[in-house]
Amino acid sequence: MTPARFTQCLLALRWTPINLASALHCNLAWIEAMETGDEKVPTELATWLETLATTHETLGIPVAYRGKGLEPASSRAARR
């Protein structure tokens, strides 16, 4: 996995390097080193990230929920 694709995967997942380090319980510096290409992304990690990112890229974000929950509670109560 190239550093560019590594970064694209994180963007597709809406994760920062900090989020990934937290999920993996690893050192942030190691994540940053993979991001810059100073460390190679392990094959198993690359496969996992590719699978997650491809799924997110393929499915996209549901748009049916845009704006939901933004109505003040008083407006919802008045409609009942």
Give tens-digit pLDDT for 21-70: 999 999 999 999 999 999 999 999 999 999 999 999 999 989 998 888 87
CA pair distance 42, 32, nearest whole angstrom = 14
Angle of helix 3-13 versus helix 17-24 axis, rounded to 10: 90
Residue 72 has pLDDT above 90, yes or no: no
Say what the pLDDT of residue 76 is.
59
Q: What is the pTM of this model?
A: 0.79
| CB 38 within 8 Å of CB 67 | no
CA pair distance 5, 7, nearest whole angstrom = 5
Location of structure tokens 């919802």: 76
